[in-house]
């Protein structure tokens, strides 16, 4: 069975690593090409956009893909929507692997906003010392609020730099430990954080550190994902109706690499084993 994983996340890489040795699967990982030296699993990797939903559908047909797994970042809404459109067009089965977002707990001081412009507004007029944990493409609107001092951390360098008088840049790739995040926030005398609700443990350190230091966090709300049916409460992953390769039925959304592997085991099993 031929599997295309739309990646750019730790989970996509982990899934590709888990599937790499399977003789029954030919797995390709697709990356947007946002980072210069991404960590790569031992499977064929293709890099760059497909040219919209139709381009992705054409690729799925040309490469005779049976199963498409959307394991992209929760904020990468365009490619997820393209996958939801392209899979039925190309009649391939589709699974979304989406890590759950973080939920606030006692001590968290979160302000949720709809987009980056909302985050800029939420910083207010009074000068703040803000830590921006955002993608480099999301930084630009903060130039409209030059009264604040910024500490900007991104995987790739921010070029051109923000047109503001006070900005410090760090390039780093997670995971980030809570203790290190706390030290960084204290060293830079940060009084507010702006971040995405990425979910997962790798970037949670700053959220935990903010709680420990009683700092407010402006969180960008997640974009709405395409409406795949989630697994029914109380049902195991194996009871999800199998979106069989060739039928082009949209599949399901799962939250863990283990569940994605279980789903693949199910759809790749012979029909009799699937109870079909």
Give residue number: closest CB to ligand NAP: 8
As measured in angstroms, the least distance from the Cβ of 135 to ligand NAP is 3
**135 lies in the binding site for ligand NAP (CB under 6 A):** yes
Other CB atoms within a 10 A radius of the CB of residue 80 amount to 23
Written as one string, the DSSP assignment of 98-136 is -PPPP---TT-EEEEESSHHHHHHHH-SS--EEEEES-G
**32 lies in the binding site for ligand NAP (CB under 6 A):** yes
**8 lies in the binding site for ligand NAP (CB under 6 A):** yes
Q: Diameter of the chain by CA atoms?
A: 67
**34 lies in the binding site for ligand NAP (CB under 6 A):** yes
User: Pick from 1, 2, 20, 52: which binds ligand NAP (CB under 6 A)?
Assistant: 52
239 Cβ contact partners less than 8 Å away, ≥ 6 residues apart = 231, 232
Is residue 104 within 8 Å of residue 128, measured between CB atoms? no
Give kind and range of the element (H or E) at residue 94: strand 93-97
Q: Which of 101, 86, 98, 99 is nearest to 4 (CA)?
A: 86
**250 lies in the binding site for ligand NAP (CB under 6 A):** no
As measured in angstroms, the least distance from the Cβ of 140 to ligand NAP is 13
**7 lies in the binding site for ligand NAP (CB under 6 A):** yes
As measured in angstroms, the least distance from the Cβ of 193 to ligand NAP is 16
Distances (CA, A) of 30 to 22, 47, 217: 18, 6, 32
Give phi and psi for 123, each to the nearest 5. Answer: -65, -25
**Binding span for ligand NAP by CB under 6 A among 20-28, 48-56, 61-69, 121-129:** 48-56
Is residue 164 within 8 Å of residue 143, measured between CB atoms? yes
Nearer to ligand NAP, 79 or 267 (CB): 79
71-100 residues in contact with ligand NAP (CB under 6 A) are 72-73, 75-79, 82
Q: For residue 74, what is the DSSP state?
A: T
Beta bridge partners of 274: none
**Distance between CA 222 and CA 197 in Å, rounded?**
7
Total residues contacting ligand NAP (rule CB under 6 A)?
Answer: 23
**6 lies in the binding site for ligand NAP (CB under 6 A):** yes
**Binding span for ligand NAP by CB under 6 A among 31-39, 105-113, 170-178, 226-234:** 31-39
**175 lies in the binding site for ligand NAP (CB under 6 A):** no
- Annotate each residue in 11-30 with x if it binds ligand NAP (CB under 6 A) or - if it does not, as one string: -------------------x
The residue ranges that bind ligand NAP (CB under 6 A) are 6-8, 30-32, 34, 49-52, 55-56, 72-73, 75-79, 82, 135, 138
């Amino acid at each position: 069975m031929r599997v295309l994983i739309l990646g750019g996340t730790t989970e996509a890489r982990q899934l590709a690593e888990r599937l790499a040795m399977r003789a029954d699967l030919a797995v390709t990982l697709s990356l947007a090409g946002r980072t210069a030296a991404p960590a790569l699993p031992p499977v064929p990797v293709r890099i760059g956009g497909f040219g919209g939903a139709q381009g992705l559908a054409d690729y799925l047909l040309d490469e005779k893909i049976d199963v498409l797994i959307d394991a992209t970042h929760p904020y990468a809404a365009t490619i997820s929507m393209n996958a939801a459109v392209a899979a039925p067009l190309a009649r391939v089965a589709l699974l979304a692997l989406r890590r759950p977002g973080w939920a606030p707990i006692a001590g968290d001081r979160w302000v949720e906003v709809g987009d980056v412009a909302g985050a800029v507004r939420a910083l207010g007029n009074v000068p703040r010392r803000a830590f921006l944990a955002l993608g480099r493409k999301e930084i630009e609107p903060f130039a409209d609020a030059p009264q604040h001092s910024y500490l900007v951390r991104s995987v790739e360098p921010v070029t051109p730099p923000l047109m503001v008088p006070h900005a410090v840049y760090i390039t780093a790739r997670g995971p980030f430990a809570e203790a290190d995040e706390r030290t960084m926030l204290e060293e830079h005398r940060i009084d507010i954080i702006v971040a995405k609700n990425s979910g997962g443990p790798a970037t949670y350190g700053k959220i935990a550190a903010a709680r420990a230091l009683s700092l407010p966090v402006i969180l960008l709300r997640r974009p709405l994902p395409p409406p795949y049916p989630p697994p029914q409460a109380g049902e195991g992953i194996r009871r999800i109706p199998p979106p069989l390769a060739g039928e082009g039925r949209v599949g399901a959304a799962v939250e863990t690499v283990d569940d994605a592997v279980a789903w693949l085991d199910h759809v790749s099993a012979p029909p009799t084993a699937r109870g079909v």
